[in-house]
Structure 1
Amino acid sequence: MNTVRGLVTVVVSVTAAVASSLGSAATASASPSVGVDARILSQATVDGHDYITKEITIAPGGTTGWHWHPGRIFGVVRSGTLTHNFADCSIDGVYSAGAPITEGSGADHVHVGRNLGFEPVVMWVLYIDDAGAPLAVDAPNPGCPFE
């Protein structure tokens, strides 16, 4: 019995160490968000889909970091000005207060949101995902001279 318990302990320890090192390697190349605060306004799961509304604030000089979304995204800029770039470094939009914003779904829609202004960007964003799916997946900077 002690041999089995010892073997289980070793297997669990090795699995945790491998998972930890894989997690570290995956996030090491991701570009981090800077100056971003998010709070959940509402959340519900209906018919296998999560509906999550967040208020996202990006401080002046802040960035969301490069990422993509598995699900659908709809939002509105409440204040400030958001600059949105695609992975080819092009600006696909500059969104001021009152402007709606939506983003493509999937790993082929890597993007970054940046606050190049002097006041915080505040957005309300609705995420529609398969139940339990992440709202966003971090990605490395694709080679743009900015974050």
Structure 2
Amino acid sequence: MRTPLRVATAGTLALVTALAGGTAARATPPGPGVTAKLIAQKTVGGTDYTVREITVPPGQATGWHYHDGVVYGYVKQGTLTHYHSDCAVDGVYTQGTVVREPGGPSDIHLGRNLGDTPLVLEVLYVLPHGSPFSEDVPNPGCPFQ
């Protein structure tokens, strides 16, 4: 049975899709071969503290995203090229350096491995309890993923 609300919702979605050029904006997932391994996890009060090892193969990226809390990354191997949503590089982090991401939807970013060796990051997430590690978002209009 079709209700007027269901028909109106479907019509609105079709109109928005058509106005957007025929395709809905999609989140950008991590590139092929990007992996994450859980190292440690602890909840204290309302905060989850999690350590993960993230590996990004040469030529791949993390996908556009943000975090609901602060994230610290230590570059264990390789080089991280870090971009903000204005498409500009906001940092290049080599082995032995630390990157801090403040979190929140105003901190949309992407990490890329432009080198020829795997990028390995040790990442500490400090997130509100139950939050996902990251929130995927569509490419903000940059000529790369």
Q: Which has the larger radius of gyration?
A: 1
Does residue 46 of structure 2 align to residue 42 of structure 1?
A: no
User: Which sections of structure 1, spanning at least 5 residues, go unmatched?
Assistant: 1-24
- Partner SS for 2:55: strand
Instruction: Write the distance in 1 (CA, Å) between the matches of 2:116 and 2:100.
Output: 23
RMSD over equivalenced CA pairs, Å: 2.0
Q: Structure 2 length normalisation: TM-score? A: 0.81
Contact 1:66/1:110 (8 A) holds in 2: yes
Contact 1:71/1:135 (8 A) holds in 2: no
User: Which sections of structure 2, spanning at least 5 residues, go unmatched?
Assistant: 1-16, 18-23
Identical positions, percent:
49
Give the number of the structure whose residues are more often strand, by fraction: 1
- Partner SS for 2:59: strand
Instruction: Write the distance in 1 (CA, Å) between the matches of 2:79 and 2:34.
Output: 14
- Partner SS for 2:54: strand
Q: Select 2:29's aligned residue among 29, 32, 35.
A: 32
Give the number of the structure whose residues are more often helix, by fraction: 1
**Aligned length, in residue pairs:** 125
Instruction: Write the distance in 2 (CA, Å) between the matches of 1:113 and 1:76.
Output: 13
Q: Structure 1 length normalisation: TM-score? A: 0.80
Q: Select 1:91's aligned residue among 65, 80, 89.
A: 89
The code of the aligned residue for 1:115 comes to: N
